[in-house]
Protein backbone atom coordinates (compact mmCIF):
# COMPACT_ATOMS: atom_id res chain seq x y z
CA UNK A 1 0.00 0.00 0.00
CA UNK A 2 2.87 2.37 0.64
CA UNK A 3 4.07 1.90 -2.96
CA UNK A 4 0.65 2.89 -4.25
CA UNK A 5 0.64 5.92 -1.96
CA UNK A 6 4.09 7.00 -3.18
CA UNK A 7 3.13 6.66 -6.82
CA UNK A 8 -0.04 8.74 -6.29
CA UNK A 9 1.93 11.48 -4.56
CA UNK A 10 4.54 11.48 -7.33
CA UNK A 11 1.78 11.65 -9.95
CA UNK A 12 0.16 14.68 -8.29
CA UNK A 13 3.50 16.45 -7.88
CA UNK A 14 4.26 15.86 -11.56
CA UNK A 15 0.81 17.24 -12.51
CA UNK A 16 1.33 20.37 -10.40
CA UNK A 17 4.78 20.98 -11.86
CA UNK A 18 3.50 20.52 -15.42
CA UNK A 19 0.56 22.88 -14.79
CA UNK A 20 2.91 25.52 -13.37
CA UNK A 21 5.17 25.08 -16.37
CA UNK A 22 2.23 25.58 -18.75
CA UNK A 23 1.15 28.72 -16.89
CA UNK A 24 4.65 30.15 -17.13
CA UNK A 25 4.90 29.29 -20.83
CA UNK A 26 1.47 30.57 -21.88
CA UNK A 27 1.09 33.57 -19.53
CA UNK A 28 2.77 36.03 -21.94
CA UNK A 29 0.17 35.11 -24.57
CA UNK A 30 -2.61 36.58 -22.41
CA UNK A 31 -0.73 39.68 -21.28
CA UNK A 32 -2.13 42.99 -22.54
CA UNK A 33 0.03 45.35 -24.45
CA UNK A 34 0.81 48.58 -22.60
CA UNK A 35 -0.88 51.72 -23.86
CA UNK A 36 1.59 53.91 -25.69
CA UNK A 37 2.42 57.05 -23.75
CA UNK A 38 3.85 60.20 -25.16
CA UNK A 39 7.52 60.71 -24.51
CA UNK A 40 6.67 64.22 -23.34
CA UNK A 41 4.92 64.24 -19.93
CA UNK A 42 3.41 67.69 -20.66
CA UNK A 43 1.82 66.33 -23.83
CA UNK A 44 0.50 63.33 -21.88
CA UNK A 45 -1.13 65.68 -19.34
CA UNK A 46 -2.80 67.55 -22.20
CA UNK A 47 -4.03 64.27 -23.68
CA UNK A 48 -5.47 63.35 -20.26
CA UNK A 49 -7.20 66.75 -19.95
CA UNK A 50 -8.82 66.47 -23.39
CA UNK A 51 -9.68 62.79 -22.86
CA UNK A 52 -11.49 63.66 -19.63
CA UNK A 53 -13.84 65.88 -21.67
CA UNK A 54 -14.81 63.18 -24.18
CA UNK A 55 -17.31 60.35 -23.61
CA UNK A 56 -16.51 56.80 -24.61
CA UNK A 57 -18.99 56.03 -27.38
CA UNK A 58 -18.94 52.33 -26.50
CA UNK A 59 -19.20 52.49 -22.69
CA UNK A 60 -21.21 55.76 -22.59
CA UNK A 61 -20.78 56.25 -18.86
CA UNK A 62 -17.00 56.68 -18.92
CA UNK A 63 -14.62 59.15 -20.41
CA UNK A 64 -12.19 57.93 -23.04
CA UNK A 65 -9.44 58.50 -20.46
CA UNK A 66 -11.03 55.87 -18.18
CA UNK A 67 -12.15 53.42 -20.84
CA UNK A 68 -10.12 50.60 -22.33
CA UNK A 69 -12.51 49.94 -25.23
CA UNK A 70 -10.74 49.79 -28.61
CA UNK A 71 -12.62 52.85 -29.89
CA UNK A 72 -11.62 54.84 -26.81
CA UNK A 73 -7.98 53.84 -27.29
CA UNK A 74 -8.21 54.96 -30.93
CA UNK A 75 -9.75 58.29 -29.92
CA UNK A 76 -7.00 58.85 -27.32
CA UNK A 77 -4.40 58.12 -29.99
CA UNK A 78 -6.12 60.56 -32.32
CA UNK A 79 -6.19 63.22 -29.58
CA UNK A 80 -2.47 62.62 -28.93
CA UNK A 81 -1.69 63.03 -32.64
CA UNK A 82 -3.78 66.20 -32.93
CA UNK A 83 -2.08 67.72 -29.89
CA UNK A 84 1.33 66.80 -31.33
CA UNK A 85 0.30 68.54 -34.56
CA UNK A 86 -0.29 71.74 -32.58
CA UNK A 87 -4.07 71.78 -32.28
CA UNK A 88 -5.64 73.30 -29.17
CA UNK A 89 -8.06 71.64 -26.78
CA UNK A 90 -10.95 73.71 -28.15
CA UNK A 91 -10.12 72.76 -31.74
CA UNK A 92 -9.98 69.07 -30.85
CA UNK A 93 -13.28 69.20 -28.95
CA UNK A 94 -14.93 71.07 -31.83
CA UNK A 95 -13.65 68.46 -34.28
CA UNK A 96 -14.99 65.60 -32.16
CA UNK A 97 -18.39 67.31 -31.73
CA UNK A 98 -18.55 67.95 -35.47
CA UNK A 99 -17.78 64.31 -36.16
CA UNK A 100 -19.83 62.57 -33.42
CA UNK A 101 -22.30 65.23 -32.21
CA UNK A 102 -22.78 66.74 -28.74
CA UNK A 103 -23.11 63.24 -27.29
CA UNK A 104 -19.33 62.81 -27.45
CA UNK A 105 -18.88 65.58 -24.86
CA UNK A 106 -18.94 64.15 -21.34
CA UNK A 107 -20.50 67.41 -20.14
CA UNK A 108 -22.48 68.71 -23.13
CA UNK A 109 -23.05 72.49 -23.33
CA UNK A 110 -26.41 73.97 -22.35
CA UNK A 111 -28.17 74.92 -25.56
CA UNK A 112 -31.68 74.45 -27.00
CA UNK A 113 -30.97 70.93 -28.27
CA UNK A 114 -29.66 69.76 -24.87
CA UNK A 115 -32.16 71.54 -22.59
CA UNK A 116 -34.14 68.35 -21.93
CA UNK A 117 -30.90 66.54 -21.07
CA UNK A 118 -29.97 69.16 -18.47
CA UNK A 119 -33.37 70.08 -17.04
CA UNK A 120 -35.45 66.98 -17.83
CA UNK A 121 -34.75 65.15 -14.55
CA UNK A 122 -35.75 68.20 -12.50
CA UNK A 123 -38.88 68.64 -14.64
CA UNK A 124 -39.89 65.01 -14.09
CA UNK A 125 -39.26 65.37 -10.36
CA UNK A 126 -41.50 68.46 -10.13
CA UNK A 127 -44.26 66.85 -12.21
CA UNK A 128 -44.10 63.60 -10.22
CA UNK A 129 -44.07 65.44 -6.88
CA UNK A 130 -47.06 67.56 -7.91
CA UNK A 131 -48.98 64.50 -9.06
CA UNK A 132 -48.22 62.70 -5.79
CA UNK A 133 -49.21 65.72 -3.68
CA UNK A 134 -52.54 66.19 -5.53
CA UNK A 135 -53.32 62.45 -5.39
CA UNK A 136 -52.72 62.29 -1.63
CA UNK A 137 -54.78 65.44 -1.06
CA UNK A 138 -57.75 64.03 -3.05
CA UNK A 139 -57.45 60.70 -1.29
CA UNK A 140 -57.50 62.26 2.17
CA UNK A 141 -60.61 64.28 1.23
CA UNK A 142 -62.35 61.12 -0.01
CA UNK A 143 -61.46 59.23 3.16
CA UNK A 144 -62.65 62.09 5.35
CA UNK A 145 -65.96 62.43 3.50
CA UNK A 146 -66.54 58.65 3.46
CA UNK A 147 -65.86 58.25 7.17
CA UNK A 148 -68.02 61.26 8.09
CA UNK A 149 -71.01 59.96 6.15
CA UNK A 150 -70.87 56.40 7.51
CA UNK A 151 -70.40 57.20 11.21
CA UNK A 152 -73.34 57.91 13.40
CA UNK A 153 -73.32 60.94 15.69
CA UNK A 154 -72.42 58.80 18.72
CA UNK A 155 -69.49 57.19 16.86
CA UNK A 156 -68.16 60.53 15.65
CA UNK A 157 -68.34 61.90 19.25
CA UNK A 158 -66.33 58.90 20.47
CA UNK A 159 -63.59 59.59 17.89
CA UNK A 160 -63.10 63.13 19.22
pLDDT of amino acid 43: 87
Same domain flag for 26 and 58: no
Measure the CA angle with vertex 83, ends 78 and 87; round to 5°: 110
The pLDDT tens digits of the residues spanning 8-23 come to 888 989 999 998 888 8
CATH of residue 70's domain is 1.10.8.640
What's the DSSP call for residue 33? P
Q: Evaluate whether 157 touches 148 at the Cβ level (below 8 Å).
A: no
Task: Write out pLDDT tens, residues 42-63.
Answer: 888 899 999 999 998 888 788 8
| Series of mean pLDDT values for 10-residue runs along the chain (160 residues) | 81 90 75 60 89 87 88 91 92 92 84 83 94 93 75 61
Domain identity same for 53 and 98: yes
**Is 36 inside any structural domain?**
no
Cα separation of 103 and 51, whole Å?
14
Residue 160 lies in a domain: no
Q: Which residues pair with 3 in a beta bridge?
A: none
**pTM of the full predicted structure?**
0.53
Range of the domain at 61: 41-109
d(CA 23, CA 143): 72
Residue 79: per-residue pLDDT: 93
Amino acid sequence: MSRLYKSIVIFFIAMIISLLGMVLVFAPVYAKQATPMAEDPVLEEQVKAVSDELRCLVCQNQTIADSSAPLAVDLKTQVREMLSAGKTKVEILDYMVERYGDFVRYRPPVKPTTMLLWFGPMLFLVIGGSFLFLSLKRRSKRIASASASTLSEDESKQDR
